[in-house]
Amino acid sequence: MKQEINPKETSRAYAFEMWMKAPMPMVTFFKTLDVSHLVRMSKRKGLKFNMLMCWCIGKAASGIKEFYLLPEGGRLMQFDSLAVNTIVANKQGEVSSCDIPFCEDLSLFNEKYLRLTKEVAETCRNHDLPDAMVIGTSALAQYDIDGAVGMYSGIFNNPFLIWARYKRGFFRTTLKVSFQFHHTQMDGAHAARFLDALQREIGQLR
């Protein structure tokens, strides 16, 4: 569920005044993550790496209250649930969008991930969750890139992560990610705390 709230009654009051009408209110951070544990777990348990990344993103975000707020159409909305979006290659050779509701139970999240992405791939219809605060992701796992900045359309203000192929080293496997967020929703410190939390979730996932 989502509802409109008065920005002046929140900790984002100043940010709302400063950034809501800015011509380019998005900020992008880059971070290199150590995903060695995630790669090992993916292979050992037969789980998709992308699914594990999406769960860790949802888990890290769920502990930061700013992720439950989002500016929409000049208003500030508050949500009571999160979802993680993934881009799916569909049977027509194009891409579709799939929102997966986040839950703390990894096995349940995995079941939802597999079922919903398969459904979207087969029907070529997006699966949207308009009542959840959706964190966007785009995985370019076949390619080597050093960084990517998401497009700001002026319509979708959702936070967004992009990554490509992970890189194996002698002692660890790393993944470069970009994280784009609307400055009204959160400040740089919140974004940095989220990325640190994401690294922790990746390292301690069981």
Per-residue pLDDT tens for 12-34? 999 999 999 999 999 999 999 99
Q: Using pLDDT thresholds of 50, 70 and 90, give the confidence band for residue 42.
A: very high
Instruction: Please give the pLDDT value at position 151.
Output: 79
| Dist CA 144 CA 186 (whole Å) | 29
pTM value is 0.96
Could you tell me if residue 129 is inside a domain? yes
- Asked if residue 154 has pLDDT above 80, the reply is no
Instruction: Please give the pLDDT value at position 58.
Output: 98
Question: Other C-beta atoms within 10 Å of 124: how many?
Answer: 14
Q: Using pLDDT thresholds of 50, 70 and 90, give the confidence band for residue 149.
A: confident
Name the region of 124 (left: φ>0; alpha: ψ -120 to 50; beta: rest). left
Output the domain CATH number for residue 113.
3.30.559.10
User: Is there a contact between 85 and 134 (Cβ–Cβ < 8 Å)?
Assistant: yes
Could you tell me if residue 187 is inside a domain? yes
| Dist CA 149 CA 179 (whole Å) | 8
Could you tell me if residue 83 is inside a domain? yes
What's the number of domains the chain is made of? 1
